[in-house]
Amino acid sequence: MRKALMLCAACLAMSWTVRAGDGGQSVSVVTPEKNLTLGNSSPEKLLDAAFRQIELYDQNQWDVPKEMYDFYFKLDRLVNPQIYTEAEERMAGGGAIDQLLGTCPGTIFYMPEEDDLDIRTCGSTTSSTNRCTYPNGRYGRDVVAELDLPSSGELRISTCGSSFDTYLCLFEDACCGDESGELIESNNNDPFTCGGQRLTSAIATCVGSGTYYIVVDGASPAAHGSYCLTIEYNQDCD
């Protein structure tokens, strides 16, 4: 693991040449940090540089290399160990919404008539398919859950505790790709909701009564693995 971290840290400290664009032109990508080395640079600095490199890939609509994701999440575990410990405990409890057959949705949550909702579940997208793809989602493997709400209120969704670069979508009336469905909101990275995890996603919005579909997607083809999903619903919405 240390050797892999040293190699990726060296990558962050140098100029990268990437093939991109219609003409296949070479683009030089230079990270802001200089002389990043394992041992001399803190895990926090290395993690920040890796995050900015992933953001740069995303802004240019390039696929993030698997090696970069592996490097990022190894560092993230060092910096935020408690988040991953809690996620692993939740995963051991079962209740995943894994969409193993590629059907939509994989799991249905029914909302009680007069109660608020608080669902916390973990699973994996490794065996899932890319059911919700571009332009309705991303190119990663995904899982889908249906949520039936009897009244209006505030809906908060997050992927805190996930160990890959998640992308959240919220649809109304039908799953992604269905012409009768409407994309309500989507989110790639929310650096403020999950206590330091910056490649997790979050959505907070007021919704009316109806049927909604929550898609936990991967932000890039190499983004898949263990996810955690939190769904909170409050009938009061400001």
pLDDT in tens, 32-67: 455 555 567 889 999 999 999 999 999 998 999 999
**229 pLDDT band (50/70/90 cuts)?**
very high
Please state, in angstroms and rounded to a whole number, the distance separating the CA atoms of residues 22 and 35: 33
Instruction: For residue 44, give every residue at least 6 positions away whose Cβ sits within 8 Å of its Cβ, in sequence order, or none.
Output: 79
Q: What is the mean pLDDT of the chain?
A: 79
Residue with the larger pLDDT of the pair 85 and 28 = 85
Tell me the C-alpha to C-alpha distance, in Å, between residue 114 and each of 111, 191, 213. 9, 33, 21
Report the half-sphere exposure of 138 (CA within 13 A, side-chain side). 27
Domains and CATH numbers, the chain: 2-79 (no CATH), 89-234 (2.60.120.1050)
Residue with the larger pLDDT of the pair 70 and 182 = 70
Residue with the larger pLDDT of the pair 91 and 25 = 91
User: Token pair of 21, please?
Assistant: 């664009």
